[in-house]
Amino acid sequence: MPSPAWKKDPESHDFPAALDYLELVLEPEAAQRVVAKLNDANTVVKKAKDILRASELPLLPKENVHVAENIAKVKQGKKLSPVLLVRGRPLIIADGYHRVCAIYYLSEDLEVPCRLA
């Protein structure tokens, strides 16, 4: 399988998606502040295995429709959007959980571009 190609910046719809999720685990005002920080943050790279380990989330099955779609995108040479992460114990994957799982299946050591707040 080819190595994934990544977009330079998250897509505009990733931030509202992150806000929707974060409002479930944070107060709405706090969630809005975190998303603003994610929007302003520089993109960094972290290994897929480290993101999953820090998030304490399970690896979704390869057959999960969204994981499979992202694996197919990589095979087609389409670019993936960086993921949005929130520091904490555990790490919160505010947007991009399916992308992280898809990349893990390609190689757990692959680097994933992300915004971290």
pLDDT value of position 5: 84
> Tens digit of pLDDT per residue, the chain (117 long)?
556 789 999 999 999 999 999 999 999 999 999 999 999 999 999 999 999 999 999 999 999 999 999 999 999 999 999 999 999 999 999 999 999 999 999 999 999 999 999
Name the pairing type of β-strands 43-47 and 92-95: unpaired
First to last CA, the chain: 31
Q: Helix, strand or coil for residue 93?
A: strand
Helices 97-106 and 65-75: angle between axes, nearest 10 degrees:
60
Q: Helix, strand or coil for residue 10?
A: coil
How many distinct structural domains can be found in the chain? 1
Alpha carbons within 13 angstroms on the beta-carbon side of residue 109 total 0
Q: Which domain covers residue 20, as residue numbers?
A: 5-116
